[in-house]
């Protein structure tokens, strides 16, 4: 312990600032801000579907094309489906799967070509019917960005 009088200290010793506690506090504040930050909400996204820059469509023998218009009517390989239910659509997909010539070692691909104004439920119904039929490879058809 230093019991000397303050007047006896040399004038050359300056007080020292310890920065380690200050840095620790700043790191805690930074972690708190990172964890409590809210990001942009998904409801603010503006989406315009279905346009994409895609390659030209190739005609393959193991494809089943399902078209959905804005009214919710289905066409499986250009053949209209009488009912709108998932079961009727699954039956039409199973029939179309039997009619196509599948390349050995490759599974049939379901291509969903939905209108931009088609309901989300109608597209989900096509996906559910494909799952029930056992067709696991599904893709979506889009138009080129410049096409109208």
Band (16; pLDDT cuts 50, 70, 90)? confident
Q: What is the pTM of this model?
A: 0.56
DSSP code string of 12-75:
T-------HHHHHHHHHHHHHHHHHPPPPPGGG----TTB---PPP---TTEEEEEE-TT--EE
User: Which pLDDT belongs to residue 4?
Assistant: 61
Q: Which of 8 and 65 is assigned the larger pLDDT?
A: 65
How does DSSP classify residue 116?
Answer: T
**Both tokens assigned to 147:** 């096409």
Please count the other Cβ atoms lying within 10 Å of the Cβ belonging to residue 80. 10
Contact 74, 67 (CB under 8 A): yes
Report the distance separating Cα 29 and Cα 18, nearest Å.
Answer: 19
Tell me the average pLDDT across 113-135.
88
């Amino acid at each position: 312990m230093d019991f000397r009088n303050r007047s006896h200290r040399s004038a050359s010793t300056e007080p020292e600032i310890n920065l380690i506690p200050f840095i620790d506090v700043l790191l805690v504040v930074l972690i708190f801000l990172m964890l409590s930050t809210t990001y942009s909400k998904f409801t603010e996204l503006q989406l315009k579907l279905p346009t994409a820059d895609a390659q030209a469509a190739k005609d393959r023998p193991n494809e089943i094309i399902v078209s959905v218009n804005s009214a919710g009517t289905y066409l499986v390989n250009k053949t209209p489906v009488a009912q709108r239910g998932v079961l009727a659509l699954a039956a039409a997909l199973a029939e179309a799967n039997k009619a196509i010539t599948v390349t050995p070692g490759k599974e049939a691909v379901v291509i969903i070509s939905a209108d931009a104004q088609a309901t989300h439920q109608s597209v989900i119904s096509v996906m559910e019917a494909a799952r029930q039929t056992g067709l696991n490879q599904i893709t979506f058809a889009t138009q080129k960005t410049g096409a109208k």
